[in-house]
Every structure is written in structure tokens, then in C-alpha cells.
Amino acid sequence: MDNQLKDFRALFVSDLHLKGAHDPKTAVFEAWLRRIKAGVSQQVSPADILEASHLFLLGDIFDLWVGDHDYFVKAYPGICREIDRIVRSGIEVHYFEGNHDFHLENYWSNQQHVQVHRDAVQTEIGGTVVRIEHGDLMNPDDRGYLWLRRFWRNSFMTWSILNAPQSWVAWVGETSSRLSRSRSQKRSENQTQAILEMMVRHTKRVFLQRPFEILISGHTHVRCDIPVQVPSGSTRLVNLGSWYDEPSYFILTPTFSGFFRVSDGLPLVPKASDREPVIHKSHDQMANTN
């Protein structure tokens, strides 16, 4: 990542769980991608343009994508085409593998020239120290999922997924996807507070290992933007939520940051938040920024 930029405009999305061309969210995401143009201007932009220097896809963009099988590429031609355009325009695109989309290097890195990450990354974006991760490793007590994650990523399964007939890959992947999704939806509905507390514990734990100014993650489907107390003061925890409830994206710039609705580009305040969606700018200014 280019950490020497003084001006930057980073976009973050995760947990869209697109299920193919029939899924209405697929067309919404493709339309949102078409709005993205290279730029970092802090000035008012036309309503149909969303300027960016970075685009971060924090996993589970698709409800299923494993390997480089044509089965997946053909299912989302418009999205693949738009991301290719975004990369060619000079925007840095980073794709963090999730628990529904993994073994991504062969297609997304080698063919689309997207920077693929299997694990958390800590970096500076324009001087802001950011930890970025999908979030599926936040809970060390979820031993069942941790075993499943290791299983799908061991050398034998990696070879099998990359070389097996795509019909088999689709069947196995969809079965695993349903199991993971049912567990995630159950947690999101019944244990929101417990999930928030788990994310806070994770934030404190990894901060002590290597301090950062903001942690941005997905996975839990619990959208939040909250301060977390650490020995040196406080840091910031942002979880991107999911597109099941409200399609949204997060913007990080040197002068403002917060959630915005995909539908109209207006600020969105997470239920689990004590901060306004815009920092250092008024609501009216930012309502016209995108």
C-alpha cells in the first residue's frame, strides 16, 4: 500500500454475500462500482461520481467464490469488468479473503491485478495507522469455525479446490457457505451485544501487540463505529456490517470518515455508534460530496 499519500480517499465494503445474477444486490454493487473514479478531491463531486484512491473489499463479497473457476467468473461478468476498470484507472484495490471467498490469488491477483490478503494487514494510509481484516479470526473461542478455516486452507484442500471439477467445488462450497451463513445469522440476531464485546476484546488484544489508530473489519454483520479504551488512551473500532440490512460503505480520508448509504450517498449512523458519520465536516457538506 502507498503510505506516502498526503491526500487519500479510501472506500471499504464487506459482507455483501452476492448470490449470482438473480440477487438484486449484485446489480446494486455493480452500479456502485461504476460510480468509482480515481481522485482524492475534498470538494463537492457530481452525484454520479465516487472518488477514491483505495478500494478495500473486506471479504464475503460473494456468498461463494473459491479459486479461479469459470463458474464464478461467468456468474459476475459486470463486477469483474468494473473492478478491472477501477484497477486500470490507478486506484489501489485490496481484497481480503473471507470465509465465503478464498483461494483468490489465481484469478483476483494474477488476472485482475488486485492485491489479495489472506490475513489481517496493518499499514499506514496517508499517515493514518490502520489495521484491516475480514474479522473471522477475532473470536479465539470459536474452535469449530477455526478448524473449518484451517481445513479449507490446508495444502490438500487447496490443491483439490483449484484442480477439481467446478461442479464439485460449487457443491462443496455452497454446502459450507450455508453452514457458515446460518451460524452467522443466528449470532447476529440473538447475540449482538456479545459480538460487540468480543470485537472490543479483540481490538484491545491486537492493539497491545501493535498499536493502531483504527481497526476496520467485517464478518460479524454488526455495523459499528465505537471508541475502545486502551492503555495509551483510546483507539477506534469500525465493523462494516452487512448488505442484508442496509447496503453501505465506509469512507476514510484525512478530513472526514464515516458510513454512507449506497442508495443515496447520505450519511448512515450505525446502531452501535457514539459518533457522527462525518468528522471535521458538516452533514450538509458531506451529503453533497458523493
pLDDT tens digit string along 114-149? 999 999 999 999 889 999 999 988 876 766 665 566
- Say what the pLDDT of residue 288 is: 37
CA–CA distance, 270 with 286 (Å, rounded to integer): 17
pLDDT tens digit string along 49-60? 899 999 999 999
pLDDT tens digit string along 192-241? 888 999 999 999 999 999 999 999 999 999 999 999 999 999 999 999 99
Whether the per-residue pLDDT at 184 is higher than 80: the answer is no
Specify the higher pLDDT residue, 94 or 154: 94
Task: Report the CATH architecture of 10-287.
Answer: 4-Layer Sandwich (3.60)
pLDDT tens digit string along 12-43? 999 999 988 899 999 999 999 999 999 987 65
DSSP 64-117: -EETT-HHHHTT-HHHHHHHHHHHHTT-EEEEE--SSEE--IIIIITTT--EEE
